[in-house]
Structure 1
Amino acid sequence: MKPEFAPERAASRGAAGGTSYSVYAPRSPDALATVVLIHGVGMNRSVWAPQIDALAASYQVLVYDMLGHGESALPSATPTLAEYAAQLKALLDAMGIGRAHVVGHSMGALVALEFALAHPQRTLSVAALNAVYDRTPAQREAVMSRAASLGETPPEAGVDATLSRWFGDPVPGHLTQAAQAVRALLLSVDPLGYARTYRLFATSDDAHVGRLANLAVPALFLTGECDPNSSPAMSRAMATAAPHGRAEILPNARHMMNLTDPARVNERLLAFLAEANAARHAHASIIGASHE
């Protein structure tokens, strides 16, 4: 049995075009919109459990397994970010969802930004959690070294090093349960899907450099103060480059902050989504008035 986190909400599950997904109905009869959650490398859709329960109060929540992860199909041998963005577009098309708020974590944040840039008409807003952007030479060397070593070392060795980066070394006692659950996910991921996706992640930190000026939707860049690989400086640089962007930094948080600090992450996400919805309705009212 694959390890999973357990959202409190019941889900409708399915598969479309090789993508495995779950949909959580909103508790409110007046759902504001659909929110899509995209996980990071080595995870699957279950890792969003703490966000699902909070967001489903007012939104339909769609989570899915990225290519090469969970129950979804493998990506191509040398995938691109466009391939992962196309996966999301095909899923939205299959489900008849015209527009959505798109939230991604780590590699998922790169996919979310790529989707928003390629399909602004399908994107209500984008939130990039613990995203990478324009790594320093030292950061790039470290991540490329990890990518090159995939398949050459025992899985446990790489996983333990990952947990140290994501949770701290040693892992604080109150985070032990979350770290062990993440460890189980990393050890259960398809090795080929993981390797292909991680190599793309390792080489894509500059994929949006020079392009964020074209980001036409509200954008939140949220990371942890103590995340050295998805640093506050990266989020601030992205927010500065995006016309409608803003950066927020969670004090004392690290890379897996959606699990270790869910209350604070959910608070920031809900506030951002509410502002994005309000701005959209205000814009629609202005457009409507201009045609009267």
Structure 2
Amino acid sequence: MTTGTTASGTFYSYNKKDQEIPIVFVHGVGLTHEIWKPQLDFFNDHSTLAYDIIGHGKSSLDKEIISFDDFSDQLIDLINHLNIKKIHLVGFSIGSLIARNFAINHSSHLQSLTLLCSIYKRTEEQQKIVNQRFEQAKKDLKLSRQALKRWFTDKYIENHPSIYDKISSILAANNMEHFLKVYELFVKHQNDEDFNKIQNHTLVMTGEYDIGSTVKMSQELNALIPKSQLKIIKDGKHLCGIECADDVNLSLNNFIKENE
């Protein structure tokens, strides 16, 4: 495993193996590449690349206004920096929106696409709730630990206090000015993509009890994306990649093997 920072300010962790096509992991808003530890450990014998998205962790943000195209440009810059031609792309939450943008605009670089806990057409009530959370974050200038109640089951939090503390510390370390710029993109996302342009084999996956990226949303994405398949993670909530890592990893592994 090697770590580094590109000339444009992207921090990454790269585990280069014999495979020519690495698995690239894109995390969610307010988090860092560290949330992918269960996947990076599971795929230790496979080439993997995880990085901090713009304005998160150790990656810089130096623009007043950002767009999803900026995040796709960040990923293009990163894989060019590492001389990578094709990738298996895995995006979680806002990372899945970045992955969707990347798939539409840079499909020639993709071997496969996985959308984990991806939003699609929030209801009026769902939109009202995320708007309220955004306004509260702007007012408080800090992130609430209450998010973890939505992201993990109560039982998991009770049995894994170290994970709770780790994710809480990542949230607390955010540069709020940068976080709010990125969070606003997530909150105001309009789902106006042309999904017919996603021509790569795609795995759409979410937790059974994810209230933000619901089963219904994933079912609708599965119906819209031409070469897609659907996987619902039993008993999972938003951070099912951690809580239900075995199920997520096996599903991802089977999908990637089908598309090597």
Taking structure 2 as the reference length, the TM-score comes to 0.95
Gaps of 5+ in 2: none
1:38 maps to 26
1:230 matches 2:213 = yes
- Asked if structure 2 preserves the Cα contact closer than 8 Å seen for 1:135 and 1:206, the reply is no
Matching residue's letter, 2:122 = R
CA distance in 2, matches of 1:275, 1:171: 31
CA separation in 2, counterparts of 1:75 and 1:24?
A: 28
* C-alpha RMSD of the superposition: 1.6
Shift of 1:178: 1.8
Alignment of 1:65-214 (within 5 A): 65-74=52-61, 76-153=63-140, 155=142, 158-168=143-153, 172-208=157-193, 211-214=194-197
Q: CA deviation at 1:207?
A: 3.8
Question: Which of 20, 23, 40 is the aligned partner of 1:52?
Answer: 40
Aligned to 2:238: 255
The alpha-carbon deviation at position 159 of structure 1 amounts to 1.8
Q: After the TM superposition, which parts of structure 1 deviate over 6 Å for at least 4 consecutive aligned residues?
A: none
8 A contact 1:135–1:205 mirrored in 2: no
Tell me the alpha carbon deviations over residues 10-39 of structure 1, each in whole angstroms, 9 at most, x when there is no partner: x2111111111110133xxx4252111001
Asked whether the 8 Å contact 1:75–1:193 carries over to 2, the reply is no
- What is the CA distance between 1:171 and its match in structure 2? 6.2
**1:6 aligns to what?**
none
Q: Aligned with 1:103: secondary structure?
A: strand
- Using a 3 Å threshold, how does the CA distance of structure 1 residues 170 and 112 change in structure 2: closer, same or farther? same
Identity %: 27
Specify the structure having the higher radius of gyration (Cα).
1
Name the residue aligned to 1:281: none
User: TM-score, normalised on structure 1?
Assistant: 0.85
Whether contact under 8 Å (2:104, 2:197) holds in the other structure is yes
Residue correspondences, number: 259
Distance in 1 between the 2:164 and 2:146 partners? 12
- Secondary structure at the counterpart of residue 221 of structure 1: strand
**C-alpha displacement at 1:166, in angstroms?**
1.1
AA of the residue aligned to 2:42: A
